[in-house]
Structure 1
Amino acid sequence: MNDGNDFDSKQVVLIVDDTPDNITLLSALLKDNYKIKIATNGVKALHIASTLPSPDLILLDVMMPEMDGYETCKRLKSNPATAEIPVIFLTAKSQVSDEEMGLKLGAVDYISKPVSPPIVLARVATQLNLVKARNLLQDQNKHLEKLVQDRTRKLAKMQDAIIMAMASLAETRDNETGNHIRRTQNYVAALARQLKHLPRFSSELTEENIELLYKSAPLHDIGKVGIPDNILLKPGKLDSDEFEIMKMHTTYGRETILSVERYLGESNEFLRFAREITYSHQEKWDGSGYPENLSGDAIPISARLMAVADVYDALISKRVYKPAFSHEEAIDIMRKGRGSHFDPDILDVFLKITDEFREIALRYRESESGDSEIY
């Protein structure tokens, strides 16, 4: 409690009583050790208790006009701002049933009148020591939570860096740059954010999953590290045997992710998306893709998103075997792939946000020399 701008280090005790003599007695008894606040009825007590700095403890009379102590306690405990303030009842009502009533309402103690000064001092000190201990524990927990959050952020940043390093290694072997990775992961996220509103995709494309897709997308071509240079870097068209070897990059990618899952002894959504994307992003909606000739909804959503992102970026990028197409030319080519190469619904959304794709492409474009430029 006591969270306001109160420079007095003394703990605050609120005395609630409608009898002046009782207030005088309790104030004189406690004022040397605690800061005292006074309320002569339940309404004033509720106002003082909810005003910062809030009291650390409330001494509450039961028999008061208009609003008795039981009702006052009930309202204190129903308000989140005052619910944690400990209440000690002070009353001439000394029946066991009266004490039981007070404790059921949330009071921490029940002292009968006429009060014994040593008992009041001892019980007040006990409760305020518990308040100090609880506040100290809360402060420690907040500190630990902050440490955990900081460590978690650092670990997440390190994991993201490792993922990008792995992905960049594969892209470098393919004469591509890290900006291809940046572009495709942003394309995937842009598509997913639009598609999540469609019932067909809403259960899969949650905000959390979209973030995981964004992080896993850079791994789509990590399997290319297993493809020989004479095939991977060939400036012309691959023959049928070479193409069969090139197709293996999807299998190599999946095996890499599976090896991580085996090492961990478990999987998770991030690894599932990474595995789906690496293995199935070359599948086509009509079943003519590879490695398994999957078609339609049998292709994971993550891989269908990646297919659109990857093809668009390949079309607008210069390669050793082809020049870069303009944004408009790429759009025309991809429109022709609706229902054959691409999921029609995903392609339709892509066609609605082509300006966003163009903006992403410009933000992470390549320089004349082929080096990465980020704007």
Structure 2
Amino acid sequence: MDRPQSKQILIIADANPENINVLKSMLAPDYDIKVAADGKETIRLALSADTPGLILLSAMMPTADLDEVFRKLKGDKTTKNIPIILLSEPTTEDTAATGFELGAADYITKPFKRSVVSARIRTHLELKRYRDHLENRVIKRVSELHEEIQERRDVEDIYRALVEHARDGIAIIYDFKVRYANPAFCKMIGFSEKELIGAHLKKFISEEEFIRNTKRYSNRLAGINLPRIYKSQVIHADGSTIDVELNVCVVPYGRSLAAFVFVRDIREEEAWKYCI
């Protein structure tokens, strides 16, 4: 017959049949009781497919057995959160301290009182449910964050590919210096990427254009609505002047703002105007 879903599994680990019988009589109506006579059997039951909700473990077991139970169960991800309550004799004063050092959640001394035993078990099962709930939420959220990060990376890879292979020049300008330049922009003005990154705008625009563009940029940062697209000129590495069309927008850059600039070479368009 299937075990009722409402009943949680408890392991009573004790070599004393009298203790086991007393505890079973108290707990059997509310819990599915499994019994272990030593540390090895306790570990086997705890690591089985039917994971217990809590373990009542005799503190009178040999020290080696106790150490092994705590080491195995607290070191396994499937059993590390199972609360272990030590069952101790009233004369063993060091039981609590030793048990807490090993990883025990609590201890109960003989003679066992139904009200005390039941209350301790309910408390620790409720704490375990709450801890498991929080842990599952954290795991779920971490998984979601990993997916979001991967999605962002995928989008960034696509975006980077589009920018790197764009026919128009693209640059990011911050503090009047080039922070990024795509291959098309480097080719357009005859400088290598190494020469452009970190270079001041005056490296490839005239003083007059610098003043004009600086004013536009400052007004745009101040929130003044300006046309995003306008004509300008840049200076090629060989000293020649190139007519360009700039499409500028302000984007977040670290904790500040930067200019994201599309640069289109319009020399042919300008030449056609004179031919018509």
TM-score where L is the length of structure 2: 0.60
Is the Cα contact below 8 Å between 2:39 and 2:69 reproduced in 1? Answer: no
Structure 1's consecutive aligned runs of 4 or more residues displaced over 4 angstroms after TM superposition are none
Could you say if the C-alpha distance between residues 222 and 254 of structure 1 is closer, same or farther in structure 2, counting changes exceeding 3 Å?
farther
Q: Which runs of 5+ in 1 are unaligned?
A: 1-5, 174-218, 228-244, 267-375
Quote how far apart the aligned CAs of 1:89 are.
Answer: 1.0
Is the Cα contact below 8 Å between 1:14 and 1:58 reproduced in 2? Answer: yes
Is the Cα contact below 8 Å between 2:40 and 2:69 reproduced in 1? Answer: no
Q: 1:159 aligns with which of 150, 153, 156?
A: 156
Task: Classify the secondary structure of the residue corresponding to 2:85.
Answer: strand
1:53 and 2:53 are equivalent in the alignment: no
Quote how far apart the aligned CAs of 1:112 are.
Answer: 0.8
Task: Classify the secondary structure of the residue corresponding to 1:169.
Answer: coil
Quote how far apart the aligned CAs of 1:42 are.
Answer: 2.2
Q: Which runs of 5+ in 2 are unaligned?
A: 170-180, 202-249, 257-276
Q: How does 1:170-181 map to 2 (within 5 A)?
A: 170=167
Q: 1:254 aligns with which of 197, 201, 206?
A: 197
Q: Which residue does the alignment assign to 2:64?
A: 71
Is the Cα contact below 8 Å between 2:67 and 2:102 reproduced in 1? Answer: yes
Q: 1:92 aligns with which of 89, 94, 97?
A: 89
Quote how far apart the aligned CAs of 1:92 are.
Answer: 1.8
Mapped to 1, the partners of 2:130 and 2:19 lie a distance apart of 29
TM-score where L is the length of structure 1: 0.45
Mapped to 1, the partners of 2:112 and 2:104 lie a distance apart of 17
Q: How does 1:32-47 map to 2 (within 5 A)?
A: 32-47=29-44
User: Which has the larger strand fraction?
Assistant: 2
Q: Which residue does the alignment assign to 1:301?
A: none
Mapped to 1, the partners of 2:135 and 2:33 lie a distance apart of 25
Q: How does 1:1-375 map to 2 (within 5 A)?
A: 8-64=5-61, 68=62, 70-79=63-72, 80-81=75-76, 82-170=79-167, 221-224=183-186, 227=188, 245-246=189-190, 248-250=191-193, 254=197, 263-264=253-254
Could you say if the C-alpha distance between residues 261 and 76 of structure 1 is closer, same or farther in structure 2, counting changes exceeding 3 Å?
farther
Is the Cα contact below 8 Å between 2:84 and 2:104 reproduced in 1? Answer: yes
Q: Which amino acid aligns with 1:106?
A: G
Mapped to 1, the partners of 2:101 and 2:60 lie a distance apart of 17
Task: Classify the secondary structure of the residue corresponding to 1:15.
Answer: strand
Count of aligned positions = 192
Could you say if the C-alpha distance between residues 250 and 108 of structure 1 is closer, same or farther in structure 2, counting changes exceeding 3 Å?
closer
Could you say if the C-alpha distance between residues 221 and 62 of structure 1 is closer, same or farther in structure 2, counting changes exceeding 3 Å?
same
Mapped to 1, the partners of 2:159 and 2:80 lie a distance apart of 47
The alignment yields a C-alpha RMSD, in angstroms, of 3.3
User: Which has the larger helix fraction?
Assistant: 1
Q: Which residue does the alignment assign to 1:241?
A: none
